[in-house]
């Protein structure tokens, strides 16, 4: 990203990382542009039934991607290891169900928010 280190107090990345071939580099870049104490909200689609993220960079056919990853332009489907990937990038992570706290906002009740601090 073309931003200087520590440029932002808040970063919102909503359903983007599943489209990025090198998501780990993207996570490190998101951490880099956060100010110390800054927060990032990093949402992705997650399989509730699998522990490990499923990805295969050799899959380029849109129909195969849709079958494997849930959408034609996804390059992975995250598993329950998403939180540990964020920690490996250097974030402090808290997982929350915001729909319970904000019931009138139209949030999906099964989706968790990943609040990440530098």
d(CA 112, CA 109): 8
- Quote the pLDDT of residue 88: 98
- Quote the pLDDT of residue 108: 80
Q: How far is CA 66 from CA 20, 51, 74, in A?
A: 15, 20, 7
Q: Is the dihedral of CA 44, 96, 98, 27 positive or negative?
A: negative
User: What phi and psi, each to the nearest 5 degrees, are found at residue 80?
Assistant: -70, -5
Spell out the domains of the chain, with CATH numbers in brackets: 8-102 (3.40.50.150)
Burial class of 108 by CB neighbour count within 10 A (0 to 12, 13 to 18, 19+): exposed
Nearest Cα to 115, choosing from 45, 40, 46? 40
Q: Is the pLDDT of residue 63 over 80?
A: yes
Nearest Cα to 16, choosing from 99, 80, 100, 75? 75
- Quote the pLDDT of residue 112: 86
- Quote the pLDDT of residue 111: 83
Q: Is the pLDDT of residue 107 over 80?
A: no
Mean pLDDT to the nearest integer, 22-32: 98
- Indicate yes or no: pTM above 0.85: yes
What tens digit of pLDDT does each residue of 82-91 get? 999 999 999 9
Q: Is the pLDDT of residue 80 over 90?
A: yes
Q: Is the pLDDT of residue 9 over 80?
A: yes
Q: Is the pLDDT of residue 11 over 80?
A: yes
Q: Judge whether 44 and 17 are in contact, CB under 8 Å.
A: yes
């Amino acid at each position: 990203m073309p931003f200087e280190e520590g440029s932002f107090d808040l970063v919102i990345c909503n359903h983007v990382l599943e489209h990025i071939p090198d998501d780990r580099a993207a996570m490190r870049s998101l951490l880099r542009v956060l100010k110390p104490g800054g927060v990032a909200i990093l949402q992705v689609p997650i399989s509730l039934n699998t522990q490990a993220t499923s990805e295969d960079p050799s899959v380029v056919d849109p129909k195969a991607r849709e079958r494997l990853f849930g959408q034609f332009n996804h390059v992975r489907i995250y598993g329950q290891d998403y939180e540990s990937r964020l920690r490996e990038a250097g974030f402090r992570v808290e997982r929350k169900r915001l729909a319970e706290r904000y019931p009138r906002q139209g949030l999906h009740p099964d989706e968790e928010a990943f609040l990440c601090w530098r």
